[in-house]
């Protein structure tokens, strides 16, 4: 599916302290992504704080995003949940609303086995009928998808793609090669982790699932297009310019930094959902200084 290639921009989901999604603010964040021409919008990913929102609020966010994208940009939506039946219901909601695909993580409290993850993903894909992208996010879920498990899941009808954190540049080619050898040719391999994405794209990653693109789509599109053109020199130069932002992401998490950046730019005034706290003022100023210095607005 073409929605699993190119640049997928992941916006935050502005919400009140009690978890009520600010649909007007969300639409204001999505509109520039549509105008920029991103290849897809990744709604309710980890940056979109899906795990902190009720089923009803997730549906309100999805309806607002789909209305704003208006058929011009496909919307991939997070459907992860602790329980398999809840994930199925969320995927069914997404399909009924008009999302093109679901992003499914191995969310758990009790650590999961490969067999449990396989059963979970197969059930969601089969019972919802929604195309599924495997969301490998071990930093959050504490579960890592080995190439063998990805290959096994790639045989399930409806499981079409992988979003996987890119390792360091010296390991990314081997990482992608191991995955490619495990999956069918039509299965799409994509990268997250903005600071390593440029090298992953040059090594053959077919998609970049980007937090930064949720606020700065033009900058990220320039990196992607240079990589797609095979211009490694330009790709690396554009990426190097972004290093101050990548350093902030790694030091304070991309979630906290992107909330501070959105606030600095006046795009929304929401805070992350508690217990996550916004960055304190001195660190917010550091974020603002980087955004201004790089002219990312």
Catalytic positions, written as ranges: 135, 163
Nearest to 72 by CA among 172, 3, 20: 3
Give per-residue burial for 142-152: e unless 16+ CB within 10 Å, then b: ebebebebbbb
Distance from C-alpha of 7 to C-alpha of 41, rounded to nearest angstrom: 8
Distance from C-alpha of 5 to C-alpha of 285, rounded to nearest angstrom: 35
Region at 295 (left for phi over 0; alpha for psi -120 to 50; beta for the rest): left
Nearest to 165 by CA among 199, 192, 201, 187: 192
Give the C-alpha distances (Å, rounded to integers) separating 62 from 53, 57, 170, 252, 288.
Answer: 12, 9, 38, 28, 29
Report the half-sphere exposure of 154 (CA within 13 A, side-chain side): 21
Sort strands 40-43 and 132-135 into parallel, antiparallel or unpaired: unpaired
Distance from C-alpha of 55 to C-alpha of 53, rounded to nearest angstrom: 7
């Amino acid at each position: 599916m073409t929605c699993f290639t190119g640049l997928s921009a992941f916006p935050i989901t502005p919400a009140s302290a009690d978890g009520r999604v600010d649909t007007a603010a969300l639409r204001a964040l999505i509109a520039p992504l549509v105008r920029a021409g991103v290849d897809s919008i990744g709604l309710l990913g980890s940056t979109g704080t899906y795990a902190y929102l009720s089923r009803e609020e997730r549906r309100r966010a999805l309806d607002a995003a789909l209305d704003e994208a208006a058929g011009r940009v496909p919307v991939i939506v997070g459907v992860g949940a602790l329980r398999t039946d809840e994930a199925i219901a969320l995927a069914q909601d997404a399909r009924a609303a008009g999302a093109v695909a679901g992003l499914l993580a191995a969310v758990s409290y009790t650590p999961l086995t490969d067999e449990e993850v396989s059963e979970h993903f197969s059930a969601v894909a089969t019972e919802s009928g929604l195309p599924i992208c495997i969301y490998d996010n071990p930093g959050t879920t504490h579960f890592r998808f080995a190439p063998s498990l990805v290959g096994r899941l790639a045989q399930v009808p409806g499981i079409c793609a992988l979003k996987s954190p890119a390792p360091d540049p010296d390991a990314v080619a081997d990482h992608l090669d191991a995955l490619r050898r495990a999956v069918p040719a039509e299965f799409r391999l994509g990268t997250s982790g903005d600071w390593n994405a440029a090298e992953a794209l040059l090594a053959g990653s077919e998609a970049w699932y980007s937090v930064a693109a949720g606020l700065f789509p033009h900058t990220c599109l320039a990196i992607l297009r240079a990589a797609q053109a095979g211009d490694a020199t330009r790709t690396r130069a554009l990426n190097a310019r972004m290093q101050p932002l990548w350093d902030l992401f790694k030091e304070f998490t991309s979630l906290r930094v992107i909330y501070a950046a959105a606030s600095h730019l006046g795009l929304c005034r929401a805070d992350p959902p508690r217990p996550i706290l916004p960055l304190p003022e001195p660190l917010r100023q550091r974020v603002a200084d980087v955004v201004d210095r790089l002219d990312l607005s």
